[in-house]
Homo-oligomer: A and B are copies of this chain.
């Protein structure tokens, strides 16, 4: 199965807040661009807030970025929206048979490889910032 779209939506939200930085980015406004409902947006924004990526306050319309664009990586967003936990990207079968030499060692043999693979994936995300995404979209808009 695949990693929740919360991650892609989180990136979308943050990017749009930047594009709309002179306006008010309410959950309804953001939901319209993402094409989903405001409650889901607020849930994700709550996670981004907990990770100190955005500023938002009850009763006050709009969300703002809490940091500079160049200081937010996709890895920050990925961690914030909690789509994959540490060392849990790959699931293992629980309870292999301890009476079998393979059964009693397979988890320890595989685990480090799974960790390495997951870290390789996350490293790629850590090398891309929101600034890159925004620049890419600005460029795409200029071409068309």
- What residues make up the interface of A, taking CB atoms closer than 8 Å to B? 1-5, 7-9, 11-12, 15-16, 19, 32-36, 74, 84, 88-97, 100-103, 105-106, 108-110, 113, 116-118, 120-125, 128, 133, 136-137, 140-141
B96 touches A33 (CB 8 A): yes
User: What is the total number of copies of this protein in its complex?
Assistant: 2
- Of listed A5, A90, A118, residue having the most chain B CB within 10 A: A90
Q: If A102-B19, A120-B123, A121-B121 touch, does A2 touch B128 (CB 8 Å cutoff)?
A: no
- A133 to B102 Cα, complex, angstroms: 10
B-side contacts of A128, CB under 8 Å: 113
Chain B minimum-CB-distance residue to A116: B124
